[in-house]
Amino acid sequence: MAEVNALELDSREKILDAAEKLFARRGFSGVGLRELAEAAGISKSGLLHHFRGKTELYAAVAGRILHEFEKRTLQAISAGGDAFERFDRWLDAMIDTLAEQPTRARLLLRSLFEDDDLAGESEEEKAVDQTIERLFSHVARLLREGMEQGVFRLASIPHTLQSLVGLLVYHFASGEFGETLLRQSLFAPAAVRKRREAVKALLYGGILVRPQVAAVQAT
């Protein structure tokens, strides 16, 4: 029946969009199904027709975001170039992906560190965990190649991955606090550009004027 809005997306998509926004802002237990349904312009029972339950909906939201990150990671990494070029392109891709949708960083961060929250056994949640694992293994492989080729200093790969998450994801997830610190929106084009520069300067040169050639050898 002709709705006012001709573009009328799928209910499923509308629900996912609304849920992404709310879950990102307040977390899994901070949002109720009623509020979720209302934000999606549907009744609670209508919502539950599309998703078996709240945890499945959350997993679907997380999965959608994680697949986007994996897609962009593969694009960036599999294009040509040496390890440094590919890594640099990957950094750009991650910053783009995080910056173009303010909800993504928060939801990604939550998926990582709230994992143990009701660590579910459902199929959907296992799929989310597997996507995370795959995503990180792509980057781990790139780091390993770079180290073997003598482009990157030898370092613990898991720790480097953790550092990258910290530098990239946390920043864009830091919300009000980050905006107070920067005195502007985290997502304004200028702020994103500056973050890109800051991260690359740190990763590629450290913070010191006279870099120490790391007394600490890799282990």
The residues binding DNA (CB under 7 A) are: 1, 11, 31-35, 37, 42-46, 48-50, 52-55
Closest to 35 (Cα-Cα) out of 8, 61, 54:
54
Phi/psi at 56 (5° precision): -65, -40
Tell me: does residue 65 bind a second copy (CB under 8 A). Answer: no
Distances (CA, A) of 65 to 4, 20, 21: 30, 9, 12
Look up residue 209 and give its two tokens: 């004027």
Task: Determine the Cα–Cα distance for residues 202 and 197; give it in Å rounded to an integer.
Answer: 8
* List 12, 25, 64, 138, residue binding a second copy (CB under 8 A): 25
Q: Write down the least CB distance from residue 19 to a second copy, Å.
A: 16
Instruction: Identify which of residues 50 and 110 has a Cβ nearer to a second copy in the complex.
Output: 110
Tell me: does residue 195 bind a second copy (CB under 8 A). Answer: yes
Tell me: does residue 58 bind a second copy (CB under 8 A). Answer: no
**Side-chain-side CA neighbours of residue 107 (13 Å):** 29
Q: Write down the least CB distance from residue 3 to DNA, Å.
A: 10
Tell me: does residue 9 bind a second copy (CB under 8 A). Answer: no
Closest to 87 (Cα-Cα) out of 157, 29, 19, 21:
157
* List 82, 156, 185, 188, residue binding a second copy (CB under 8 A): 156
Q: Write down the least CB distance from residue 26 to a second copy, Å.
A: 6
